[in-house]
Structure 1
Amino acid sequence: MPETAAVSIHPSAIVDPQAQIGPGTTIGPWCHIGPDVSIGEGVRLHANVIVDGHTRLADGVEVYPFVTIGLAPQDLKYAGEPTRCDIGARTVIRENVTIHRGTAQGHGLTKVGAHCLIMANAHVAHDCTIGDGVIIVNNVVMGGHVEIGDGARIMGAAALHQFVRIGRGALVGGVCGVESDVIPYGSVLGNRARLVGLHWIWLRRQGVDPSEIHAMRRAFRILYPRQGGGEGVLDARLTEVKRDFAEVARVQEIVAFMEAPSRRGLVRGARPSSNVLESEGA
């Protein structure tokens, strides 16, 4: 976009003179932009959008009506510290979404990556970190400090407990309560999330080689056997998979995620009787 592109600000909008507004940005009626806000090139705020705090909207972000970004977190420990909120390039935020800035006790930053889609009525809490290309569907809510990896899909009305990690490319089913970590490329369903397989459709759409998908399927069956298995043998299964699939990068990514420190533990596999371990996901 040319650097000389004009900024369009509706007469009813309130934009603090200290705010930084990039060229080509459109600020619609009844928007309110605070003094510490930085807005990049070609951003569009449709109407009735509030952006406050130390908040940055990168180039090409589009925000629909009645969204609030960068307001104070819903945390009783918050005492007005100058924490931040960052929205990545070309992310689209639909109606009534709320995204709160971080806390001093957390990362001090709430971050949404580039090319994300956050649908209507979703809530992104303080200190959450959302990767690139993530889709969050209507009415999703999350507690503070949630981490969502690149390309993950969070379906409608899912609820993510604070400190939960959602791995890259994972799928969380609709109306699903997630109280523990979801492995990369995992697919979870149920009133309380249970791992039902890997997100095969997403992997295929990403162009992952069929031989690697086949290797991931075999590794998954070792990690989460149909016949079940006690928690005490998980370490042995992880060691086996790490050794036998050393050349499969995505399998090693899953193993590293499972071995990393966790505040919430890992989502359990579905019960063997459920017959859904080979679910394709959505």
Structure 2
Amino acid sequence: MISPLAYIHPEAKIGENVEIGPFVFIDKNVEIGDNNTIMPNATILYGSRIGNGNTIFPGAVIGAIPQDLKFHGEDTTAEIGDNNTIRENVTINRGTAAKGRTVVGSNNLLMEGVHVAHDALVGNGCIIGNSTKMAGEIIIDDNAIISAAVLMHQFCRVGGYVMIQGGSRFSKDIPPYIIAGREPIAYAGINIVGLRRRGFSNELIENIHNTYRIIYQSGMNVTDALAEVRKEVPMSPEIEYIISFIENSQRGIIR
């Protein structure tokens, strides 16, 4: 299961049933769980923490130091959960003193050439398209779909269950359950197909639609629109999530 042409530092911790191909490099201070497949020419560097059942394709680099001039060798980590597919040439940098770790959750697909920068937090069940680049300290909530060649500014947050059009670039937050697209990027409706596939009821989808109709089409400012949502839309965890997301946005939301 482990090629004799791979290099594994003697201090690295490797779990059971791990397949490691030729020319893989695994550094010291690395922990890899069970049932992982690490294909040829992948590089797992200092501070990497990899869970169980992941598949890492050739050319991926996990745990490289941050591309941040404020980094001065702090002891930080790049943490990956379970059952992720990390395709060719994906790069996941470890954290800085800001947060101490970069995290990719579980059950994600990171397609070829994706970059996850320092201190980023990617949730669970996300699909990230080819060559999408995420800057430092971004947050992506669960079940987001980000298409190919998207550029995400540092400190931005993407809400859960969104669909972002390929080739988009943005420097503001994208609230949950919506489609974001066009140029410049803007609200383009709610992600009806995605929500139905995830089992959202027609009533809940309608409530989400009415929430965003008030936020984006009423002509009110954001504060007044959220107050109107509280009056007009039946509350549920999903509607509360939208309100909380927008109220706590540090960069403001796309319009």
Report 1:44-123 matches (<5 A): 44-104=37-97, 106-123=98-115
Picking from 176, 191, 197, the partner of 1:199 is 191
Distance 1:192 1:58 in 2: 38
**1:266 aligned partner:** 253
Picking from 232, 237, 254, the partner of 1:249 is 237
Larger radius of gyration: 1
**1:271 aligned partner:** none
Matched, 1:126 2:126: no
Any idea what the Cα deviations from partners look like across 1:123-172, whole Å, max 9, x if unmatched?
A: 11001000000100101011101100000001000100000000011111
Distance 1:118 1:261 in 2: 25
The structural deviation recorded for 1:180 is 0.4
Any idea what the Cα deviations from partners look like across 1:210-258, whole Å, max 9, x if unmatched?
A: 1111111112111111xx626xx32111011023324232122101100
Does structure 1 conserve the Cα–Cα contact (< 8 Å) formed by 2:103 and 2:120? yes
For residue 154 of structure 1, what is the amino acid of its counterpart? I
The structural deviation recorded for 1:32 is 0.4
Distance 2:183 2:55 in 1: 33
The structural deviation recorded for 1:92 is 0.5
Distance 1:208 1:76 in 2: 44
For residue 219 of structure 2, what is the amino acid of its counterpart? G
Matched, 1:167 2:159: yes
Does structure 1 conserve the Cα–Cα contact (< 8 Å) formed by 2:207 and 2:234? no
Matched, 1:184 2:176: yes
Distance 1:259 1:222 in 2: 15
Unmatched runs of 5 consecutive residues or more in structure 2: none
For residue 265 of structure 1, what is the amino acid of its counterpart? G
What percentage of residue pairs aligned between the two structures are identical? 36
Picking from 200, 220, 229, the partner of 2:219 is 229
- Give the number of aligned pairs: 255
Q: In angstroms, what is the RMSD of aligned CA positions?
A: 1.1
> SS of 2:160's equivalent?
coil
Task: Output the TM-score relative to the length of structure 1.
Answer: 0.88
Matched, 1:154 2:146: yes
> SS of 1:224's equivalent?
helix
Any idea what the Cα deviations from partners look like across 1:96-116, whole Å, max 9, x if unmatched?
A: 111100001x21110001000
For residue 155 of structure 1, what is the amino acid of its counterpart? S
Matched, 1:240 2:228: yes
Any idea what the Cα deviations from partners look like across 1:74-104, whole Å, max 9, x if unmatched?
A: 0011111111110110000000111100001
Question: Structure 1 stretch 235-244 or stretch 154-163: which is displaced more?
Answer: 235-244
